[in-house]
Structure 1
Amino acid sequence: MKKLINDPADVVSESLLGLEAAHPDHVRVDHPNRIVLRREPPRPGKVGLVSGGGSGHEPMHGGFVGLGMLDAACAGEVFTSPVPDQMMAATKAVDAGAGVLHIVKNYTGDVMNFEMAAELAAAETGTEVVSIVTNDDVAVQDSLYTAGRRGVGVTVLLEKIVGAAAEEGRSLTEVADLARRVNDNGRSMGMALTSCTVPAAGKPTFELAETEMELGVGIHGEPGRQRLPLASAKEVAAMLVDPVLTDLPFGVGDSVIAFVNGMGGTPLIELYLMYNEIHQLLDRAGVSVARSLVGNYITSLEMAGCSITLLKLDDELVRLWDAPVNTPGLRWGV
């Protein structure tokens, strides 16, 4: 295992120290609870947005704390859910009197622990909490870590869009309804060229031969749809786009955000090459790309590969996507 670390047991805590030192204008960190918070205190009357999950997917979620996105993010150990006490502390920290929205990826540990935290917050402080579970991955119905589809790339788009709505002062009901709409209108699928290595494990999560790739892999290295011979970018793009288009389904005349995401180990030159192939496929399908996002936003440590996410748009979603955002991991309009 070759990694720029000290002790595997300290990777998360030391990474959070670095995040805080690098972005003091955006965030502060509650280190005992491993919670990334906005630098400024909560604005009275604003709905608080809390997300989180296992570490190893950076910049998600701590990198998306700031103006126009999250108010707090809980960091678990690598590929391990945060605990309810962390989520409870984050909920209390961002409660400004308008309630709190939990944005939860559909992984069993995350869902269970966020549910417990919401119940604790309601009982202890009377905070109204609504949970939205993202489940946009079309690759498999169930996986090693889920009942139902996994929550992946739509989570990033949802945090941005819902974050803009919360900044406008919308109510908890309105923000939650918007989050459901985004989740319902987005679909994703990923693939891997290599495995990743969890620092505490010290060895690859799975083995892939030099001539193989995994189609539909999860962000924790969970098995996908099938293991296939290595293919060209053009062929891989079709393997990702076709299942996504047919699942919602997306149709002629639809307008979308096209999100090509790197898994952590794929350079931008390859991600932009993949975007070109995907854009051509969408054009041939009559699907218009209104907005795009290309880069490493929801990763799997150093895994090589990519995922695509398509989100069907309307005028309101475009406006909220374009609204200012200022976080360590995403910034425009400010």
Structure 2
Amino acid sequence: MPKRKGLLAMHGTIEVNHLAKTFKKGNVKAVKDVSFTVNEGEFFAFLGPNGAGKSTVVQMLTTLINPTGGEAFVAGYNVSKDPGKVRRHIGVALQETGVDPDLTGREMLELQAHIFGYQKQAAKQRADELLEIVQLKGDASRRIGNYSGGMRRRLDLALTLVHEPKILFLDEPTTGLDPTNRIAIWKELERLNKEMGTTIFLTTQYLEEADSLADRISIINRGLIVASGTPKELKAQIGSDLITLTFKNEADLQKSESVLEEELDTVDLIVRNDKLNVYVNEGNKQLLQIVRTLDQHQLELETTNLSSPTLDDIFLKITNEPAGGEEDGQ
């Protein structure tokens, strides 16, 4: 294990070494052997299909549950040995929040500030600052129970920022929001990261969110990290081009997959939503060869499309599952 750096230099970092978690009930190995680092000031996205183990990792890093193997350091502190110190340096916004619907937004923020040791006047000042940041100043006196979904998400974000944490853990912060509110949250997260230097650890089911915001991404599947890198690096792993084919009937679709696997070199193929996705280099040349090959076998193409692969294609190829859906239970 590398020598630990001084704590002051690590308050914005996350270091995970062979982390594991087995739940006694059912002997479920939710996390098997996970290692990664997040640098100070980095925007890090953590992705995985349902049941992959990403929520369990987040719960361990935020001291909600203890690991059964390995170790993790958040803000320079061991999550198992110094959970109190970890909590003082992090902000956490989970999918389920504990806000009181009978309080106003301002009252909720002031209450949170008091919990973190702010005196009355300082708590009011901090609440004003945060209401301005998340654009809720005009709704500060409304009861939270009357807030829209987007307003609640922005309030959740403000609550995580009360004590000015160096690290933010955000578990699907924009799930269920309309595009306008989602973009507003994106802009605020970018500002916190780029202007304030806040380290952000994000889980999301929107792959375009990770693609747009994250400096680096790790993908977890079946309790193990299966890919890591920048969005650009991950896309490069799959090939430079994506050819999408549709057919006039299901039989031709199925036969085309086997034909292309046999007759084309270094091609990755995935059938999804009645389409055949073919990942290749030099897509223009390969497309002509594919069309000729299918024509020789009398397989009737309906449409062809040539494009660059997206993060969604990477996710599907690596995990063999589409992104989205509800968060994993483990």
Q: TM-score scaled to structure 1, two decimals?
A: 0.26
- Structure with bigger gyration radius: 2
Q: TM-score scaled to structure 2, two decimals?
A: 0.26
More helix by share: 2
